[in-house]
Amino acid sequence: MPITFGSDGAAERYETDVVVVGGGIAGLSAALGASQAGASVILVEKSPRDQRGGNTHFADAQMRFPHQPDEYGGREYTVEAMYSDLMRISRGRANPELIRTLCENARETAEWLTEMGLEWEPGYPHTAGYRRSPKAGGQGLVDLLFRRLEGEHVAVSYETGARDLIADDAGRIRGVRCIGPEGFVDIEARGGVVLACGGFQANVQMRVAHLGRFADSLILRGSRYNTGEGLMMAIAAGAQPAGQWGDYHSAVLDARSPKIECGVTALYNYQMGIFVDQEGRRFLDEGEDFRDHTYVKFSKFIIEQAGGEAWCLFDQQAYQREEFARAWRPVGPPLQADTLKALADQMGVPSENLLDTVGGFNAAVQPGDYDLDRLDGKRTAGITPPKSNWALPLNQPPYIAIPVTGGITFTFGGIKCDTSARVIDTRGKVMDGLYAAGEPMGEIFYYNYPGASSVIRGAVYGRIAGRHAAARAV
Ligand SMILES: Cc1cc2nc3c(=O)[nH]c(=O)nc-3n(C[C@H](O)[C@H](O)[C@H](O)COP(=O)(O)OP(=O)(O)OC[C@H]3O[C@@H](n4cnc5c(N)ncnc54)[C@H](O)[C@@H]3O)c2cc1C
């Protein structure tokens, strides 16, 4: 239950128009949005200053948003195309109103980030011509927005974790109780509280409870501070859980990655090779779709159905390509051998199986034009699983093997919100004074993940939440 003002415990009490919980892209956008709308704002951040920025700090922070044909040297990407990608990848389960609002506001929000001083890489970083990368990645994005907050005189309180929501007798959310260096602090917010404090990916108990037994040992790609408190506080206050609580975002990681806060150690080049399991057998269609639409799904497959760890194999045709290096930041050198037998021995997989797998695969490769920029239809025939695109025989030694596993980036389960980012309670009613943005917002992602859409989701809904809360106060 949320506590009320006047209950015991807080050493200090502050008042403001809007309080924002969490300093990643969603919280920073909310705080700036509220401040630019004339509200006074306090942002509380659980981490110390030198670890600020949440998951956003660890990300490349690529963003997809609609644009005109040839605008950045790519193809046209319309609001409708973005909407249809996001709905399709959620298998139609995402909340259509939330997705539409996200798509309709993505472009304008990206332009606002540009006005804030964000510099983008020229052109497109990958084959998918609809996403753009901030030049200085997620860390640069976060640092830039914190600098803007300082310019707006927004108070930022580090090492201050929100613990409880504060409600009045009518059930309206009036503030938040936090634990800081000096003890408990109550912050009253006339316009509202914006929960922008991430999912529960760093909370092992919640992970196992909601994702399953295997989830206790997942590599945590991002912030150690996203331990689900925002979700728990909101639900305790009556918010409606929403979205896919049993699923999460992941990536195909180099299995040698650090176990926590490993950052960008994903292999985004697996479509140029094949996966094999510890028995040396292929187990999925590496060329099913653009890697943007498969990396989350494949990483979960490796964890849940391929024994937790697998291998990605390449030959020199792939390894020498410029795209190969661009799509992998090595954690360590790959295994390398002149023969498949020697490679299998290094990998510790049965060499007869590996020779059989690669031989069968090579024989099944069909002729056709190889083109990583499109679904080229250069496929295998007569083997299971097939490789539906980008199938080249592995026949140019030295052969390369990289150990791969899955990890966890953020969780999909959240709380129900409307298109103004207002939280909805279990009766279906708006909870006055409570907003959620970024990872705590449910009903956006299901099963899989359309690459480059979480940072922009945080920016769009953070800004919407901040402005709405500000309008209630000023
Ligand atoms: C390695 C990696 C690469 C990624 N690449 C991309 C990409 O290219 N494009 C993309 O769209 N997405 C990417 N993502 C996902 C994306 O970065 C995140 O989902 C998104 O940035 C989340 O933003 P957020 O503001 O919701 O949460 P965060 O950025 O995680 O911010 C949440 C903040 O809340 C704080 N907090 C938590 N609990 C409390 C509390 N109780 N009180 C106060 N503060 C609290 C945390 O310390 C944290 O600072 C990537 C993620 C990782 C880890």
The yes-or-no verdict on residue 7 having pLDDT over 60 is no
Q: Write the pLDDT tens digit of every residue in 193-246.
A: 999 999 999 999 999 999 999 899 899 999 999 999 999 999 999 999 999 999
CB within 8 Å of 359: residues ≥ 6 apart: none
CB count within 10 Å of CB 15 equals 13
The yes-or-no verdict on residue 414 having pLDDT over 70 is yes
Take residue 437 and report the two structure tokens written for it. Answer: 């943005």
Say yes or no: 49 and 80 in one domain. Answer: yes
Say yes or no: 394 and 443 in one domain. Answer: no
β 63-64/41-44 pair status:
unpaired
Place of tokens 């129900």: 416
**High-pLDDT (> 70) share of the chain, %:** 96
Q: Cα dihedral sign for 207, 210, 214, 218? A: negative
- Cβ of 407 closer than 6 Å to ligand 1, yes or no, is no
Say yes or no: 82 and 195 in one domain. Answer: yes
Q: Cα dihedral sign for 446, 451, 456, 462? A: positive
- Taking each helix axis from N to C end, the angle separating 25-36 and 454-473, rounded to the nearest 10 degrees, works out to 30
Choose the final residue of a domain: 405, 430, 458: 405
Say yes or no: 367 and 448 in one domain. Answer: no
CA of 116 to the centre of ligand 1 (A): 19
CA of 56 to the centre of ligand 1 (A): 4
How does residue 76 score in pLDDT terms, banded at 50, 70 and 90?
confident
- Cβ of 295 closer than 6 Å to ligand 1, yes or no, is no
CB within 8 Å of 6: residues ≥ 6 apart: none
* Confidence (pLDDT) at 380: 98
CB count within 10 Å of CB 325 equals 12
CA of 26 to the centre of ligand 1 (A): 8
Atom 1 of ligand 1: nearest residue by CA position: 263
* Confidence (pLDDT) at 304: 86
Say yes or no: 377 and 432 in one domain. Answer: no
Closest CA to 362 of 401, 333, 336, 392: 392
- Cβ of 403 closer than 6 Å to ligand 1, yes or no, is no
For residue 64, list its beta bridge partners: 131
Say yes or no: 51 and 165 in one domain. Answer: yes
Take residue 371 and report the two structure tokens written for it. Answer: 């083109």
Q: Are 124 and 132 in contact (CB under 8 A)?
A: yes
Say yes or no: 105 and 233 in one domain. Answer: yes
* Confidence (pLDDT) at 10: 72
Say yes or no: 233 and 143 in one domain. Answer: yes
CA of 455 to the centre of ligand 1 (A): 8
CA of 52 to the centre of ligand 1 (A): 10
> Where are the alpha helices (H) located in 78-136, listed in sequence order?
79-89, 96-115
Domain membership of residue 201 as a residue range: 3-247+413-473
- Cβ of 203 closer than 6 Å to ligand 1, yes or no, is no
Amino acid sitting at position 322: E
Please choose from 28, 55, 262 the residue to mutate so as to test ligand 1's pocket, defined by most ligand atoms within 8 A of CB.
55
Q: Peptide bond preceding 385: is omega within 30 degrees of 0, i.e. cis?
A: yes
Look up the CATH number of the domain holding residue 265.
Answer: 3.90.700.10
Say yes or no: 22 and 166 in one domain. Answer: yes
How confident is the prediction for the chain on average, in pLDDT? 94
Phi-psi region for residue 164, left (φ > 0), alpha (ψ -120 to 50) or beta? Answer: beta
Instruction: Please state the atom number of ligand 1 nearest to the C-alpha of residue 439.
Output: 26
The yes-or-no verdict on residue 3 having pLDDT over 80 is no
> Where are the alpha helices (H) located in 281-436, listed in sequence order?
295-305, 316-319, 322-326, 340-347, 351-364
- Number of domains present in the structure of the chain: 2
What is the average per-residue pLDDT within 151-176? 96
Q: Write the pLDDT tens digit of every residue in 82-139.
A: 999 999 999 999 999 999 999 999 999 999 999 999 999 986 555 556 789 999 999 9
- Cβ of 44 closer than 6 Å to ligand 1, yes or no, is yes
- Structure-derived torsion over alpha carbons of residues 41, 47, 53, 54, reported in degrees to the nearest 10: -120
- For residue 150, the surrounding DSSP H or E stretch is helix 137-151
CA of 20 to the centre of ligand 1 (A): 14
Say yes or no: 79 and 143 in one domain. Answer: yes
- For residue 22, the surrounding DSSP H or E stretch is none
- Cβ of 261 closer than 6 Å to ligand 1, yes or no, is no
- Taking each helix axis from N to C end, the angle separating 137-151 and 25-36, rounded to the nearest 10 degrees, works out to 30
CA of 27 to the centre of ligand 1 (A): 10
Atom 15 of ligand 1: nearest residue by CA position: 454
Q: Write the pLDDT tens digit of every residue in 51-68.
A: 999 999 999 999 999 988
pTM for the whole thing?
0.94
β 155-157/41-44 pair status:
parallel
Choose the final residue of a domain: 405, 427, 442: 405
Look up the CATH number of the domain holding residue 179.
Answer: 3.50.50.60
Q: Are 275 and 312 in contact (CB under 8 A)?
A: yes
Choose the final residue of a domain: 365, 381, 405: 405
Q: Peptide bond preceding 398: is omega within 30 degrees of 0, i.e. cis?
A: yes
CA of 339 to the centre of ligand 1 (A): 43
CA of 198 to the centre of ligand 1 (A): 6
Please choose from 20, 43, 56 the residue to mutate so as to test ligand 1's pocket, defined by most ligand atoms within 8 A of CB.
56
Q: How far is CA 187 from CA 14, 143, 155, 213, 386, in A?
A: 5, 25, 12, 38, 57
Say yes or no: 51 and 149 in one domain. Answer: yes
pLDDT greater at residue 136 or residue 1: 136
β 407-408/219-220 pair status:
parallel
- How far, in Å, CA of 423 to CA of 415, rounded? 7
Say yes or no: 311 and 372 in one domain. Answer: yes
Closest CA to 251 of 427, 448, 446: 448
